[in-house]
């Protein structure tokens, strides 16, 4: 079977991911580009004897790349081996998007132009002339609406047709004065064996006129460099003087802009100017007075739904894992294997998976905010407010992403072009409680607060973390990073109804990754915790309590003695020894050795806090309808210690994956070291203050 490799390229917010998700019968693979923490989506489709591999590149405004994502996309386009480019553009902003299209056309690759969101233009009375665009550009054009499933299936057919057909002749030419200089550069390039291909030589010449440093590095070590360098200096001076511009890069930008406007005038029937739904909604949602309360109401509603709806299936999942654990005990003979599975892995993994509904609801809410276009408005709305805390409005996007997962939130901070703004944002991102902390919050709220207040308490925890993050940002800006944040510039997409298929696909990916994490990393961690809590086996304790248990007739007394025996055995285990060693650090905030161990284990992954507590506290036989862990926490943990634990979880370092991402994104060792220390010290001090305040209040 032949393979066709396709690069799916386009500017941000043109709907590339929606097109990927709309493709029927596709196999989706999600990972990272080699060597970088930038998400890579690949779709594999089999049709007419071909396996078509489509690589969804990060959004890129221009081949003059600036952000890390743009560099990844550019590197792929320049260096990887692929057969053709599918360039997706937004029909609403066709003129601007076509500027990048022309840069791609300069590459002289086989190419297809996909004009997406055509439904939005048509609803406003506009129309894109497909045939005219094809005639003017000389490449195939497909009109699509990923949301309405229109035209998406044509893409694969056109990919096969374009692959099988010869490459069309180039139709993109610039001003004759520019073309004349391109020819001069090409003549020198042809002297090198690297640039014998005429199309490739022309592309390199254009990139050199565009002042592309990456291309300049390619020619720097070639024998033709000195001659080419002298010629380029002369050409730059001539063109800049002739066009009255400061740089040849600006000249090419102006050229593409003029060509783009001419193309749109020919091929797009512009919709009549009228007050759109977006205009009407913006009057309310980004209103200077009502905008912020509306946003806070949406966030409060999201946390209410997360708790209220998410709690419904929790008991079912809990009961199912209890049954699985009992089944393993019934099937396997007594011994280490039965114990590690029935008492270690299954309860620990079950205690995590039961929170999957809560996490999916939270992710769905954040995805809805992004897909509808409301997230960008909120960033604009909060710009003035966030500047008071030393952050710019654009920082809101990674901060809100942090409520889902801190890892992509750190990567989202790349959109902040100013290095100071970026580092401050990344240093406070950990205060945005990620979904991995949600199981710990839900467990502690369920144990120590009435069910009627659960959603409100969860909202307060999340908002408190966010407020603390803003205060710390202000301190960092005042003490360590003096100066004003960069001015806010951001594109405002129109409001859109979310694609249910795209939403479902994103939730499925998140659920799969979460379950994979629960089934591997957390299962492994729970086996380690089980081993440390089960060995060394103290036979003297067991013999002593066995005699006491046999001598007692009362069933409840027997259970009490059994639980006491397990507790003594845990204290004598390796885990008990570790807990006793670190207990003095946490004793001032009311933690026993079990809670101390759970907090340290949470540095690996926050979900492990729940599974560790489940291993250390959930002992004895429990009715399948009762929540043993909650009962054990109520018996062994004071209210003020539980609140101190919430504060610790809210503030201290995120998981190892997030910390690794921070290190990958921030090369300075000083900030790496600061990042490892300050959240943990701050968490302990805050927990100590809260614990003692509650103690004074009589709790």
- For residue 360, give both structure tokens: 């999916």
Residue closest to 62 by CA, chosen among 162, 169, 207, 176:
207
| Secondary structure, 3-state, 53-107 | EEEECCCCCCCCCCCHHHHHHHHHHHHCCCCEEEEEEEHHHHHHHHHHHHHHHCC
Q: ω before 536 within 30° of 0 (cis)? A: yes
Nearest-5° Cα angle at 151, 76 to 164: 55
Cα distance from N-terminal residue to C-terminal residue, the chain: 71
Would the pLDDT of 80 be above 80? yes
Neighbours of 146 (CB within 10 A): 27
Would the pLDDT of 670 be above 80? yes
Rounded CA separation 532/9 (Å): 51
pLDDT in tens, 178-233: 999 999 999 998 888 888 888 899 999 999 999 888 888 888 888 888 888 899 89
> By percentage, how much of the chain surpasses pLDDT 70?
88
Task: Please name the residue that has the structure tokens 């999600």.
Answer: 30
What is the per-residue pLDDT for 511? 78
- The one-character DSSP state at 393 is G
**How many alpha carbons fall within 13 Å on the CB side of residue 62?**
15
- The pairs formed by 598-604 with CB atoms below 8 angstroms and a separation of 24 or more are 599/645, 599/648, 599/649, 599/652, 601/525, 601/529, 602/440, 602/649, 602/652, 603/652, 603/653, 603/655, 603/656, 604/521, 604/525, 604/655, 604/656
DSSP assignment of 413-480: GGG--SHHHHHHHHHHGGGS--GGGHHHHHHHHHHHS-GGGHHHHHHHHHHHHHHHHHHHHHHHHHHT
Would the pLDDT of 300 be above 70? yes
- pTM for this predicted structure: 0.57
pLDDT in tens, 580-597: 888 899 999 999 888 888
At residue 410, the 3 state secondary structure works out as helix
Would the pLDDT of 382 be above 70? yes
Q: Which CA distances in Å does 154 have to 42, 158, 268?
A: 18, 6, 21
- Whether the CB-CB separation of 594 and 637 falls below 8 Å is answered with no
At residue 526, the 3 state secondary structure works out as helix
Furthest-apart CA pair in the chain: how many Å?
105
Range with the poorest average pLDDT among 73-87, 142-156, 522-536, 613-627: 613-627
Confidence of residue 626 (pLDDT cuts 50, 70, 90): very low
Range with the poorest average pLDDT among 73-77, 136-140, 511-515, 632-636: 511-515
Sequence-distant (≥ 6) Cβ neighbours of residue 135 within 8 angstroms:
none
DSSP assignment of 232-284: HHHHHHHHHHHHT-S-HHHHHHHHHHHHHHHHHHHHEEPPPP---HHHHHHHH
Would the pLDDT of 638 be above 80? yes
What is the four-CA torsion angle of 497, 501, 504, 508, rounded to 10 degrees?
Answer: -150
Between 367 and 241, the more confident residue is 241
Between 499 and 171, the more confident residue is 171
Confidence of residue 679 (pLDDT cuts 50, 70, 90): very high
Beta-strand relationship, 84-90 and 111-116: parallel
- Whether the CB-CB separation of 441 and 303 falls below 8 Å is answered with no
What is the per-residue pLDDT for 624? 28
For residues 275-292, b (16+ Cβ closer than 10 Å) or e, as one string? eeebeebbeebbeeeebe
Would the pLDDT of 106 be above 70? yes
Residue closest to 614 by CA, chosen among 405, 458, 447:
447
Would the pLDDT of 618 be above 80? no
Range with the poorest average pLDDT among 108-117, 256-265, 623-632: 623-632
- Whether the CB-CB separation of 162 and 140 falls below 8 Å is answered with yes
- The one-character DSSP state at 485 is P
Would the pLDDT of 93 be above 80? yes
Positive or negative: CA dihedral 323, 325, 327, 330: negative
Range with the poorest average pLDDT among 118-122, 168-172, 258-262, 645-649: 168-172
DSSP assignment of 158-225: HHHHHHHSPPPPP-----HHHHHHHHHHHHHHTTSGGG-SHHHHHHHHHHHHTT-HHHHHHHHTSTTH
Q: Any alpha helices (H) in 309-418, and if so which ranges?
A: 314-331, 336-339, 346-353, 356-372, 374-387, 396-401, 406-412
Confidence of residue 491 (pLDDT cuts 50, 70, 90): low
Confidence of residue 159 (pLDDT cuts 50, 70, 90): very high
Confidence of residue 620 (pLDDT cuts 50, 70, 90): very low
Rounded CA separation 347/350 (Å): 5
Mean pLDDT, the chain, integer: 81
Rounded CA separation 172/109 (Å): 13
At residue 143, the 3 state secondary structure works out as strand
- The one-character DSSP state at 484 is P
Q: Which CA distances in Å does 510 have to 178, 503, 514, 680?
A: 49, 11, 6, 28
Range with the poorest average pLDDT among 45-54, 217-226, 389-398: 389-398
At residue 624, the 3 state secondary structure works out as coil
Would the pLDDT of 404 be above 80? no
Confidence of residue 414 (pLDDT cuts 50, 70, 90): low
Confidence of residue 406 (pLDDT cuts 50, 70, 90): confident
Confidence of residue 648 (pLDDT cuts 50, 70, 90): very high
Range with the poorest average pLDDT among 69-83, 329-343, 635-649: 329-343
- Whether the CB-CB separation of 457 and 307 falls below 8 Å is answered with no
Residue closest to 155 by CA, chosen among 109, 87, 81:
87
- For residue 376, give both structure tokens: 């960008």
Which secondary-structure segment (H or E) carries 134?
Answer: helix 130-137
Residue closest to 413 by CA, chosen among 425, 405, 403, 431:
425
Would the pLDDT of 97 be above 80? yes
Would the pLDDT of 647 be above 90? yes
Helix axes 574-586, 523-534, angle to 10 degrees: 100
- For residue 469, give both structure tokens: 């993050």
Rounded CA separation 593/580 (Å): 6
> By percentage, how much of the chain surpasses pLDDT 90?
21
Q: Any alpha helices (H) in 495-573, and if so which ranges?
A: 500-517, 523-534, 539-551, 555-572
Neighbours of 88 (CB within 10 A): 29
Confidence of residue 623 (pLDDT cuts 50, 70, 90): very low
């Amino acid at each position: 079977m032949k393979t066709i490799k396709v690069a799916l390229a386009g500017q941000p917010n043109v709907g590339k991911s929606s097109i990927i998700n709309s493709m029927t019968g596709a196999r989706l693979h999600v990972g990272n580009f080699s060597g970088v923490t930038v998400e890579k989506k690949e779709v594999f489709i089999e049709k007419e004897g071909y396996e078509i591999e489509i690589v969804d590149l990060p959004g890129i405004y221009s081949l003059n790349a600036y952000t890390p994502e743009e560099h990844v996309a550019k590197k792929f386009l320049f260096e990887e081996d692929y057969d053709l480019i599918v360039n997706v553009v937004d029909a609403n902003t066709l003129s601007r998007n076509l500027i990048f299209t022309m840069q791609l056309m300069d590459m002289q690759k086989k190419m297809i132009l996909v004009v997406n969101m055509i439904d939005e233009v048509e609803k406003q009375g506009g129309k894109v002339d497909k045939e005219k665009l094809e005639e003017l550009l000389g490449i195939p054009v497909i009109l699509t609406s990923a949301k309405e499933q229109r035209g998406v299936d044509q893409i694969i057919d056109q990919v096969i047709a374009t692959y099988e057909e010869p490459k069309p002749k180039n139709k993109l030419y610039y001003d004759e004065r520019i073309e004349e200089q391109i020819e001069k550069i090409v003549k020198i390039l042809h002297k090198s064996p690297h640039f014998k291909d005429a199309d490739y030589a022309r592309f390199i010449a254009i990139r050199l006129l565009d002042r592309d440093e990456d291309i300049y590095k390619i020619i720097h070590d070639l024998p033709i460099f000195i001659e080419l360098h002298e010629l380029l200096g002369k050409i730059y001076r001539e063109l800049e003087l002739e066009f009255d511009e400061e740089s040849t890069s600006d000249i090419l930008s102006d050229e593409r802009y003029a060509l783009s406007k001419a193309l749109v005038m020919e091929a797009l029937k512009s919709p009549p100017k009228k007050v759109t739904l977006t205009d009407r909604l913006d009057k309310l949602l980004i209103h200077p007075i009502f905008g912020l309360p509306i946003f806070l109401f949406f966030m409060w509603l999201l946390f209410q739904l997360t708790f209220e709806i998410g709690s419904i299936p929790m008991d079912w999942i809990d009961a199912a894992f209890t049954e699985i654990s009992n089944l393993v005990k019934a099937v396997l003979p007594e011994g280490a294997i039965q114990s590690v599975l029935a008492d270690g892995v299954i309860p620990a993994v079950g205690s995590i998976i039961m929170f999957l509904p809560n996490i999916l609801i939270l992710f769905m809410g954040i995805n809805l905010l992004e897909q509808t276009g409301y997230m960008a408005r909120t960033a604009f709305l909060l710009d003035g407010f966030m500047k008071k805390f030393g952050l710019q409005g654009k920082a809101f996007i990674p901060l809100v992403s942090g409520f889902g997962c801190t890892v992509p939130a750190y990567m989202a901070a790349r959109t902040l072009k100013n290095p100071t703004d970026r580092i401050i944002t990344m240093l406070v991102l950990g205060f945005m409680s990620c979904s991995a902390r949600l199981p710990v919050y839900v467990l502690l709220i369920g144990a120590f607060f009435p069910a009627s207040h659960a959603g409100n308490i969860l909202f307060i925890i999340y908002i408190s973390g966010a407020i603390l993050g803003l205060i710390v940002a202000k301190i960092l800006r005042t003490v360590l990073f003096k100066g004003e944040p960069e001015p806010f510039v951001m594109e405002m997409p129109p409001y859109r109804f979310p694609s249910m298929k795209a939403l479902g696909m994103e939730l499925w990916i998140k659920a799969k990754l979460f379950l994979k994490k629960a089934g591997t990393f957390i299962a492994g961690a729970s086996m380690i915790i089980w081993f440390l809590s089960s060995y060394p086996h103290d036979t003297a304790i067991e013999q002593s309590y066995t005699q006491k248990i046999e001598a007692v007739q009362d069933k409840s007394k027997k259970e009490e003695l059994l639980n006491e025996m397990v507790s003594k055995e845990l204290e004598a285990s390796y885990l008990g020894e570790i807990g006793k060693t670190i207990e003095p650090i946490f004793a001032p905030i009311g933690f026993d050795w079990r809670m101390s161990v759970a907090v340290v284990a949470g540095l690996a992954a926050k979900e492990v806090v729940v599974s560790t507590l489940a291993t250390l506290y959930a002992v004895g036989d429990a009715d399948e309808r009762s929540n043993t862990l909650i009962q054990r926490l109520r018996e062994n943990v004071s209210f003020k210690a539980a609140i101190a634990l919430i504060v610790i979880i809210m503030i201290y370092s995120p998981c190892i994956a997030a910390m690794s991402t921070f290190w990958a994104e921030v090369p300075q060792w000083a900030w790496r070291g600061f990042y490892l220390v300050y959240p943990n010290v701050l968490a302990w001090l805050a927990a100590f203050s809260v614990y003692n305040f509650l103690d004074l209040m009589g709790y």
